Structure 1
Amino acid sequence: MVTQHGEHGEPGQVHEEVEVKYDLAPDAEAPTLGALLGDLPGADERGYREGDPVEHELEAVYFDTRDLRLSAARTTLRRRTGGHDAGWHLKTPWREGARQERHLPLGRAVKTVPAPLRRLVADVTGDQTLVPVARITTHRTVRTLVDAAGTALVELADDRVRAQRLAGGSVGQDEQEWREVELELLDGDRELFDAVDAHLRAAGLVVAETGSKVARVLAGAPAPRTDDAPAAGADAPRPDAPRPADRVLTPAAPRRTDLGPGSRAGDVLVAHLAEQVQRVLDQDPLVRADAPDSVHAMRVATRRLRSALKTYGPLLATSTKPVRAELRRLAAELGEARDAEVLRDRLVRSVASLDADHHDHSADHADQHGAAPDGVPQRVREQLEGDYRTAHDRVLAELDSERHQSLLDALQDLVERPEFSARGRRKAAKVLPKRVAKTFGALADLVQQAQDTGPGPARDELLHEARKAAKQTRYAAEAVVVVFGKDAKRFAKAVTELQEVLGEHQDSVVTRQRLRDLAATAHPEVAFAYGRLFAQEEVHAAATEADVEEVWAAARAKRLHRWLR
Structure 2
Amino acid sequence: MADVKREIERKYEAAPEIRLPDLTGVAGTAASVPRGVVELDAVYYDTDDFRLAAGSVTLRRRTGGDEEGWHVKFPVAPGVRDEIRAPLSATLPDELAELIRSRVRDRPVVPVVRLLSSRDVHHLADAEGRLLAELSVDTVLAERLAEDGAGATTGWTEIEVELADDGDPDYLDAVEERLAAAGVRPSASGSKVARALAETAPGERTAPETGDEEPGDTAGGQVLAHVRRQIGTIVTLDPAVRRDLPDAVHRMRVATRRLRSAFKTYRKVLDRTVTDPVGAELKWLAAELGTGRDHEVLEARLLQRVDEVEPALLLGPVRGRLERWGAAERTGARRRILAVLDGERYLALLGTLDALVADPPLLPAAGEDAAGTLTRAVLKDHDRLTARVEHALDLPPGPGRDLAMHEARKAAKRTRYAGEAARPVLGKPAKRLAKRVKAVQSLLGDHQDGVVARDALRALAVHAHGAGESAFTWGLLYGREEAAAARLEHRLPHVWARASEARLRAALKS
Task: Confirm or deny: 8 A CA contact 2:57 2:75 kept in the other structure.
Answer: yes
Alpha-carbon offset, residue 415 of structure 1: 0.8
Q: 1:29 aligns with which of 16, 20, 43?
A: 20
Summarize deviations over 1:533-559 as a string: whole Å, max 9, x none. 444434443443344334322223856
Alpha-carbon offset, residue 410 of structure 1: 1.9
> Equivalences for 1:109-508 in 2 at 5 Å?
109=90, 112-136=91-115, 137-143=117-123, 155-168=133-146, 172-184=151-163, 186-188=165-167, 192-193=168-169, 195-203=170-178, 204=180, 206-220=185-199, 253-254=211-212, 256=213, 258-259=214-215, 263-317=217-271, 319=273, 320-348=275-303, 350-351=305-306, 353-354=307-308, 357-358=310-311, 362=314, 365=316, 376=319, 380-508=322-450
Which SS does the other structure have where 1:102 is aligned?
strand
Structure 1: how far apart are the matches of 2:67 and 2:197? 24
Alpha-carbon offset, residue 441 of structure 1: 1.1
Task: Confirm or deny: 8 A CA contact 2:113 2:143 kept in the other structure.
Answer: yes
Task: Confirm or deny: 8 A CA contact 2:313 2:473 kept in the other structure.
Answer: no
Q: Evaluate the alpha carbon distance shift between residue 50 and residue 344 of structure 1 in structure 2; reply closer, same or farther with a 3 A threshold.
A: farther
Amino acid of the residue matched to residue 105 of structure 2? G
Structure 1: how far apart are the matches of 2:93 and 2:402? 50
Task: Confirm or deny: 8 A CA contact 2:432 2:507 kept in the other structure.
Answer: no
Structure 2 counterpart of 1:13: 3
Task: Confirm or deny: 8 A CA contact 1:56 1:83 kept in the other structure.
Answer: no
- Give TM-score, length-normalised by structure 1: 0.77
Q: Evaluate the alpha carbon distance shift between residue 211 and residue 498 of structure 1 in structure 2; reply closer, same or farther with a 3 A threshold.
A: farther
Amino acid of the residue matched to residue 172 of structure 1? G
Which SS does the other structure have where 1:77 is aligned?
strand
Structure 2 counterpart of 1:555: 499
Summarize deviations over 1:31-77 as a string: whole Å, max 9, x none. 7474224xxxxxxxxxx977856456244322112221111122111
More deviation, 389-398/526-535? 526-535
Structure 2: how far apart are the matches of 1:428 and 1:179? 45
Amino acid of the residue matched to residue 313 of structure 1? R
Structure 2: how far apart are the matches of 1:21 and 1:498? 47
Q: 1:72 aligns with which of 38, 54, 74?
A: 54
Summarize deviations over 1:227-275 as a string: whole Å, max 9, x none. xxxxx9xxxxxxxxxxxxxxxxx99634x5x445xx2211111111111
Task: Confirm or deny: 8 A CA contact 2:7 2:162 kept in the other structure.
Answer: no
Task: Confirm or deny: 8 A CA contact 1:165 1:218 kept in the other structure.
Answer: no
Structure 2: how far apart are the matches of 1:345 and 1:31? 53
Structure 1: how far apart are the matches of 2:209 and 2:453? 38
Task: Confirm or deny: 8 A CA contact 2:382 2:501 kept in the other structure.
Answer: no
Amino acid of the residue matched to residue 341 of structure 1? E
Structure 2: how far apart are the matches of 1:36 and 1:278? 39
Task: Confirm or deny: 8 A CA contact 2:163 2:172 kept in the other structure.
Answer: no
Alpha-carbon offset, residue 354 of structure 1: 4.3
Structure 2: how far apart are the matches of 1:542 and 1:422? 47
Task: Confirm or deny: 8 A CA contact 2:69 2:86 kept in the other structure.
Answer: yes
Alpha-carbon offset, residue 486 of structure 1: 2.0
- Give TM-score, length-normalised by structure 2: 0.84
Alpha-carbon offset, residue 442 of structure 1: 0.9
Amino acid of the residue matched to residue 139 of structure 1? R
Amino acid of the residue matched to residue 211 of structure 2? A
Task: Confirm or deny: 8 A CA contact 1:252 1:278 kept in the other structure.
Answer: no
Amino acid of the residue matched to residue 28 of structure 1? R
More deviation, 269-278/494-503? 494-503
Which SS does the other structure have where 1:88 is aligned?
strand
Task: Confirm or deny: 8 A CA contact 1:251 1:278 kept in the other structure.
Answer: no
Amino acid of the residue matched to residue 273 of structure 1? V
Alpha-carbon offset, residue 277 of structure 1: 0.7
More deviation, 480-489/540-549? 540-549
Which SS does the other structure have where 1:196 is aligned?
helix
Which SS does the other structure have where 2:26 is aligned?
helix
Q: Which consecutive unaligned segments of at least 5 residues does structure 2 have?
A: none
Number of matched residues?
Answer: 494
Alpha-carbon offset, residue 159 of structure 1: 3.6
Structure 1: how far apart are the matches of 2:415 and 2:127? 49
Q: Evaluate the alpha carbon distance shift between residue 412 and residue 171 of structure 1 in structure 2; reply closer, same or farther with a 3 A threshold.
A: closer
Structure 2: how far apart are the matches of 1:549 and 1:281? 39
Structure 2: how far apart are the matches of 1:95 and 1:460? 42
Task: Confirm or deny: 8 A CA contact 1:165 1:174 kept in the other structure.
Answer: yes
Summarize deviations over 1:18-40 as a string: whole Å, max 9, x none. 44444454533257474224xxx
Structure 1: how far apart are the matches of 2:358 and 2:121? 45
Task: Confirm or deny: 8 A CA contact 1:151 1:187 kept in the other structure.
Answer: no
Task: Confirm or deny: 8 A CA contact 2:114 2:145 kept in the other structure.
Answer: no
Task: Confirm or deny: 8 A CA contact 2:144 2:200 kept in the other structure.
Answer: no
Alpha-carbon offset, residue 160 of structure 1: 1.7
Task: Say yes or no: does 1:541 pair with 2:471.
Answer: no
Q: 1:514 aligns with which of 456, 466, 474?
A: 456
Structure 1: how far apart are the matches of 2:210 and 2:404? 37
Amino acid of the residue matched to residue 175 of structure 1? T
Which SS does the other structure have where 1:172 is aligned?
coil
Aligned-residue RMSD, C-alpha: 3.5
Amino acid of the residue matched to residue 84 of structure 2? R
Structure 1: how far apart are the matches of 2:448 and 2:30? 51
Give aligned-pair identity as a percent. 39
More deviation, 547-556/431-440? 547-556
Q: Evaluate the alpha carbon distance shift between residue 55 and residue 187 of structure 1 in structure 2; reply closer, same or farther with a 3 A threshold.
A: farther
Q: Evaluate the alpha carbon distance shift between residue 101 and residue 500 of structure 1 in structure 2; reply closer, same or farther with a 3 A threshold.
A: farther
Q: Which consecutive unaligned segments of at least 5 residues does structure 1 have?
A: 1-10, 38-47, 224-231, 233-249, 367-372
Task: Confirm or deny: 8 A CA contact 2:23 2:32 kept in the other structure.
Answer: no
Task: Confirm or deny: 8 A CA contact 1:164 1:176 kept in the other structure.
Answer: yes
Task: Confirm or deny: 8 A CA contact 1:443 1:470 kept in the other structure.
Answer: yes
Task: Confirm or deny: 8 A CA contact 1:134 1:163 kept in the other structure.
Answer: no
